[in-house]
Structures are given as C-alpha cells and as structure tokens.
Amino acid sequence: MVEEPSAENVKDVRDWKGDRLQSMSDRVVFPFQIERLSPAALAYLGDAVYELYIRTYFLLPPRRISDYHNRVVARVRAESQAEQLQFIFEHLTESEKEIVRQGRNAVNRKPQRLDAEVYQQATGWETLIGYLYLMNIERLHELFSLLEFESIE
C-alpha cells in the first residue's frame, strides 16, 4: 500500500540529494567507459539532468502547469545556463574547468538565435553537468546548491 504524503514524510524538493539519484559510476561495471564519451554526449546528458533539476526545484509551491513551464524555460535557456556557469566558475576545480573547456570547444555549429560565445558557455556547463552526473553525483549536488534562481524572472 502506498503511504499518503504528510508534512513528516515529504522531503523538500530543493533538498536534491544522492538518495534520489546515484552516480552512474556505482551502477556501471566498467566506469572507465564513461571517460570515452565525447563532450557532446556529456552535454546531451547534462542538458536533460539540468532540466530535471530545474523542474524539481520549482515544483513547490504548487502552480499551474503553464507557470511551471515558464519558470523552467527561463532557467534552461542557453543565456541562463551561461550565467550560472559564470556564477559558479570560481568554485570549480581545475579538472572541472578543463571539462567545461572541452565542452565549449566541442561546439561545431553556429547557433541561430544567440551569440556563439553564450552557446559555447552553455554547452560547457551542460558538459560538466553530464560528466559529474556520471562520475561524481555528490559534487554535482554541491554545485547545484550554490546556484541562485530567484533573481531570474
């Protein structure tokens, strides 16, 4: 039987910890294969992970679906992702900065609606998220906890 949610047994969705997701390196028999993924593949995964995080972050308080959508879209746009990267950049390790650089350099097409540099930064951010999701979920949670969203409307 499914237990009904109550104030005592419902976690705040903003407390996005490792009990919700576990690192892929714990689930994959050969974690060294993750290292063979291209920056574009990591960015592809990072895009999905980041959007899921943003959707979860804004789930409470309850709102109309259109309100959820508008809040999420405002945060997952390339411009917002580039801002988030700039905001946390000083907190990154040198190896994380290298992953961001590889992601930026992997961009091989010119975006239509925005500046190429913004698009490269957003791709670097997504690459880092994808990499950390697979290799070090705790570090990803740490970086996500530094992000600020309320000022973006």
Q: Has 47 been annotated as catalytic? A: yes
What fold is seen in the domain 30-146? Ribonuclease iii, N-terminal Endonuclease Domain; Chain A (1.10.1520)
Please, what's the b/e burial string for 100-118 (b: 16 or more CB within 10 A of its CB; e: otherwise)? bebbbebbeeeeeeeeeeb
Phi, psi values for residue 8, rounded to 5°: -80, -30
Radius of gyration for the alpha carbons in the chain, expressed in angstroms and rounded: 16
Using CA atoms, how far apart are residues 92 and 104, in angstroms rounded to an integer?
Answer: 15
What ranges do the domains of the chain cover?
Answer: 30-146
- The SS3 assignment for 13 reads coil
pLDDT of residue 139: 97
Of 26, 47, 67, 115, the active-site residue reads 47
Query: What pTM, to 2 d.p., does this model score?
Result: 0.79
Alpha carbons within 13 A on the beta-carbon side of 63: 15
* pLDDT lower than 70: segments of the chain: 1-32, 150-153
pLDDT of residue 149: 74
Residues 43-69: pLDDT tens digits? 999 999 999 999 999 988 889 999 999
- Dihedral sign, Cα of residue 72, residue 74, residue 79, residue 81: negative
Q: What spatial distance separates the first Cα and last Cα of the chain, rounded to whole Å? A: 40
Alpha carbons within 13 A on the beta-carbon side of 134: 24
Cβ of 95: how many Cβ atoms within 10 Å? 9
pLDDT of residue 122: 96
pLDDT of residue 13: 42
What are the CA-CA distances from residue 134 to residues 43, 45, 105, 150 (Å)? 12, 9, 21, 28
pLDDT of residue 36: 84
